Structure 1
């Protein structure tokens, strides 16, 4: 089965209070590994954000590396949406997506080729 037909997932961490200037990719994988990332995120009470384009871009970032400046805007939009969601200001995800996060510091994006959004 090709990567295009397998689930993929990437997890980000960002702490605005730290000296780290940008979110970092802390987990990523395809197939069973992606399913495990999503399962652990859900078990931890995180939201799972389905964003195929974002996952595709994040899969190109090295593990434990900061996201490149080219992704700042897209990731900032996801973090802003998450902040609104957690504060109760928004019920539905922006751009038809579901995000995973404990707070604005932890995010998991996932893609399920041809499948329904994760809940």
Structure 2
């Protein structure tokens, strides 16, 4: 019996500073890898949070995140903004 590793999962958010962030891309496996690759190519911050990604993966594309995910998502946005202010790397 072999244990396989779970497929990678990625969810991309867009936040324009007004309203709630929107899910703009999501996927498992090869699609997730492409989302991550594209983010790196464009120097977009990447935060690894499996539980949040799983929860956000249930949101339809282009929909705003649900209110119950505001706090967790706000923490990620604060992390990303902090990186930008410090001029640090945008990816782990």
Q: What's the TM-score bracket when you normalise by the shorter of the two chains?
A: 0.7 to 0.9
Whole-Å Cα distance in 2 between the matches of residues 64 and 88 of structure 1? 30
**What runs of 5+ residues in structure 1 fail to find an aligned partner?**
93-98, 101-118
Whole-Å Cα distance in 1 between the matches of residues 45 and 16 of structure 2? 17
Aligned to 1:35, which of 23, 33, 36?
Answer: 33
Q: How many pairs does the alignment contain?
A: 88
Following TM superposition, where does structure 1 have runs of at least 4 consecutive aligned residues deviating by more than 6 angstroms? none
TM-score normalised by structure 1 residue count: 0.67
Across the aligned residues of Structure 1 and Structure 2, the Cα RMSD in angstroms comes to 2.0
TM-score normalised by structure 2 residue count: 0.86
The structure whose RCO (Cα within 8 Å, separation 6+) is larger is 1
- Structure with greater strand percent: 1
- The yes-or-no answer on 1:53 pairing with 2:51 is yes
- Structure with greater helix percent: 2
